[in-house]
Structure 1
């Protein structure tokens, strides 16, 4: 009996000691906290926090169908927005003349500084001259008509035809020749071709830039009518889905390699298959609890094949465009929180202006590509460059959450004002905390910040903000 008591006593002592050590020591524990700017609280990292502060405007539709259509038409007609109406570019053209012009511009517009190709220092003139020569020797000639293509995967549009990564230093985080990107099923009007280092590239127009796209990432339609039918949507239509999260991938499939694992990003639109055209079985699967859509794929000859694909019901999509409300704008922006920054669509991600573009695309509204172009949409931009900080803060506080704010080279989406400080969400590169000594850090992420964070020269974003764009204030 004494031995039994002794064993029990030892067990209790050991257990008690373990509890004391556990409660009084942090050795070996893992903190589950997420790092933020010093004034950003855990609650501020949720869209519901900001939407709860602006309940009076949450359900208000900021732009109806006619206003969105008017905005899109105005942006397309405004030269400073640099938008391209790809549906109106069907005239014959001199391919030889275009080829020579593109070749000359590659050399004429090459960077004056040294370049690093895939991290290796390379003579700029030699590299650009090689690409220029390839355009001349492999491009199309004669009078031809444009070709109608669709992106079959998320891809980049570049200023020169190359698969190389071009930086200005050995560790440059931006591919300096990337201009923009194409989403799956996004139209691309092709006018030239080039073969560089055995890779085929096509030059043409998206609705916001012109440039070079890798040939394997696009597919050619059999005429304009087929092309338009795949991607054109009405703002009030309900015959298509819109991706309303940062991205997701289609289910892997052994039986449909062309649709297996395809990555779809925010703002992607895909037509729904009419009920009477839905087969009983799609790649060895039934259709229960799935959206059934048409997806452009590419055959061995580069031609577009209209495939039927399934999107699981659990994915974030909307049937037709979402209503444009403050709550929806903020909620969509938060789908990117913590994602990597990707200049021009690098890394299949977003930079600051692409974040704004993609969020607003979910409502059917087309924003221009760059920050300076987005500010030029007619009738919507309030120029605040000459205002003092107090006036700017007051004006921003009066904005609807979801309003894009601009400073040279950067754009943000306004979230709300707390303790007299305006907060935003944006895809940012480098910045310094609003408190403490100036310590500019490379973040390259989508983050919530106050507009009192600082730039490399010590000035705050607030001091540099020069534009407030309110699309819903376009005059009718």
Structure 2
């Protein structure tokens, strides 16, 4: 009897262990499946309701494939839009090519000194920090403000003409001091105003007290640029020869970033960063020899790049760009496919306030996309929204009315709310999708704010830090390539 009970007990234990082992095996399989699922998404994460497929141009073009490659605006219309934007005072764009005004340097000194003191004091009053974690002090403020003063200022001085030799920024003040509203957040600098790209023209109106900064105007902004990032031309004619390029020799960077090959023989072009929207001149066939930067040009584009001589003057020299780089011979045709292709090449790129970190903020992102088509947009959201392009004012519309209008807006339309802009993609399952360079949003999985700081796709039902949706905050819908 005892033996029978023992055998039965042993068989039950054995069966139990089999059950446990089977369960454990099932759990392992389930865990492995979950790990596999996690790994399949661990490489790239997306916003809610955004799939991997949505991060491709083909997904959005599939809804209207018949006009994906239809030119939405030809060169003639684009040039007319550029002229309209230039003539519109609300866009604050600068007609550099026709700039020949003399400058009252004494008066200019007074204006920039007063403005610098006022703006820096406002940052101090808000409790902002420098890059070392110190709150802005009166001593620092006055030191920066005094550096705005041109020691050689006169009441009648001619402008200088410069070309950007490395991708850099225009700053609010002639200093490398970072001004941030969050202790330790040196990736957000209120001193930065706008990016300027290699071979971009500038008009120089003043020089800082230490000689290290120039006060410059670009096509769509103005501010202080580091003197070592630009080269001064000997004449206006030399300056124009750098950037007024015949259409058949235009080469446009259409990828997020293109980096030239490292070179010991040509340090000026070695590892030179070219960001999206950079425009260079291709060298005419037969104008160069068997070697460029000590290499055969086979498999490469041959272009001119601007160089700063030791005395700060300008010259141009030849450089090579890989034939497989994301560039275009001539401005891209303005099609929906090309708009999305350029826009999506920057997905996942860092957000860069004012163009810092060699990246873009929201308006810089949209502006650089359209640069690839030769369309020149104003610098910030307010100025872009004020352009004469085809648009709807939806500030008084309900969400339902906004959605009805969005249903008829084309890919590439720009949507604005105060402090942000985004590019419209389309609608899927009743949700409206946009792509933009985003600094922060209300955290979608709980309370608080999510620091996104990336170029990303999201729906218009996500919320701002104040709890309201992006859709409810829209005040203008615009098609920048339509008049």
TM-score of the superposed pair, with normalisation by structure 2: 0.89
**Residue 82 of structure 1 pairs with residue 95 of structure 2:** no
Q: CA offsets per residue over residues 320-364 of structure 1, 9 Å max, x none?
A: 101111111111110110000000101000010001000001110
**Secondary structure class of the residue paired with 1:277:** coil
**Cα 1:221–1:132, aligned 2, differ >3 Å: closer, same or farther?**
same
Deviation at 1:420, TM superposition (A): 1.4
**Cα 1:448–1:264, aligned 2, differ >3 Å: closer, same or farther?**
same
If you compute each CA radius of gyration, which structure gives the higher value, 1 or 2?
2
Match of 2:202 among 188, 206, 217: 188
CA RMSD of superposed structures (Å): 2.0
Q: Quote the Cα distance in structure 2 between the aligned partners of 1:137 and 1:152.
A: 23
Q: Quote the Cα distance in structure 2 between the aligned partners of 1:404 and 1:92.
A: 38
**Cα 1:115–1:440, aligned 2, differ >3 Å: closer, same or farther?**
closer
Q: CA offsets per residue over residues 379-430 of structure 1, 9 Å max, x none?
A: 4221111111112112112111111111111111111110111101100011
Structure 2 equivalent of residue 246 of structure 1: 256
Deviation at 1:248, TM superposition (A): 1.4
Contact 2:352–2:358, Cα closer than 8 Å, also in 1: yes
Structure 2 equivalent of residue 459 of structure 1: 468
Q: CA offsets per residue over residues 197-217 of structure 1, 9 Å max, x none?
A: xx6000020011111000110
Q: CA offsets per residue over residues 59-118 of structure 1, 9 Å max, x none?
A: 221111121111001111111101011112212222222122212221133223233111
Count of residue pairs the alignment pairs up: 451
**Residue 405 of structure 1 pairs with residue 415 of structure 2:** yes
**Residue 355 of structure 1 pairs with residue 369 of structure 2:** no
Contact 2:332–2:373, Cα closer than 8 Å, also in 1: yes
Contact 1:72–1:366, Cα closer than 8 Å, also in 2: yes
Structure 2 residue runs without a partner (length 5+) = 1-24
Structure 2 equivalent of residue 211 of structure 1: 223
Structure 1 equivalent of residue 15 of structure 2: none
**Secondary structure class of the residue paired with 2:39:** coil
**Residue 472 of structure 1 pairs with residue 481 of structure 2:** yes
Match of 1:135 among 148, 154, 170: 148
Deviation at 1:21, TM superposition (A): 10
Q: Quote the Cα distance in structure 2 between the aligned partners of 1:137 and 1:472.
A: 41
Structure 1 residue runs without a partner (length 5+) = 1-18
Structure 2 equivalent of residue 417 of structure 1: 427
Structure 1 equivalent of residue 450 of structure 2: 441
**Secondary structure class of the residue paired with 1:93:** coil
Structure 2 equivalent of residue 369 of structure 1: 379
**Secondary structure class of the residue paired with 2:90:** helix
**Residue 293 of structure 1 pairs with residue 306 of structure 2:** no
**Residue 175 of structure 1 pairs with residue 189 of structure 2:** yes
Equivalent residues in 2 for 1:13-412, closer than 5 Å: 23=29, 25-26=31-32, 31-33=39-41, 34-110=44-120, 111=122, 112-136=125-149, 138=151, 140-172=153-185, 173-196=187-210, 200-233=212-245, 237-412=247-422
**Secondary structure class of the residue paired with 1:59:** coil
Deviation at 1:282, TM superposition (A): 1.2
Q: CA offsets per residue over residues 141-171 of structure 1, 9 Å max, x none?
A: 3522111101100101011000121112313
Deviation at 1:28, TM superposition (A): 8.3
Deviation at 1:123, TM superposition (A): 3.6
**Secondary structure class of the residue paired with 2:149:** helix
**Secondary structure class of the residue paired with 2:239:** helix
Q: Quote the Cα distance in structure 1 between the aligned partners of 2:272 and 2:283.
A: 18
**Secondary structure class of the residue paired with 1:222:** coil
Contact 1:54–1:401, Cα closer than 8 Å, also in 2: no
**Secondary structure class of the residue paired with 2:237:** helix
Q: Quote the Cα distance in structure 2 between the aligned partners of 1:138 and 1:113.
A: 31
Q: Quote the Cα distance in structure 1 between the aligned partners of 2:456 and 2:151.
A: 44
Q: CA offsets per residue over residues 214-269 of structure 1, 9 Å max, x none?
A: 011000112111111111246xx121100001111100001100110000011100
Q: Quote the Cα distance in structure 1 between the aligned partners of 2:183 and 2:448.
A: 23
Contact 2:85–2:93, Cα closer than 8 Å, also in 1: yes
**Secondary structure class of the residue paired with 1:449:** strand
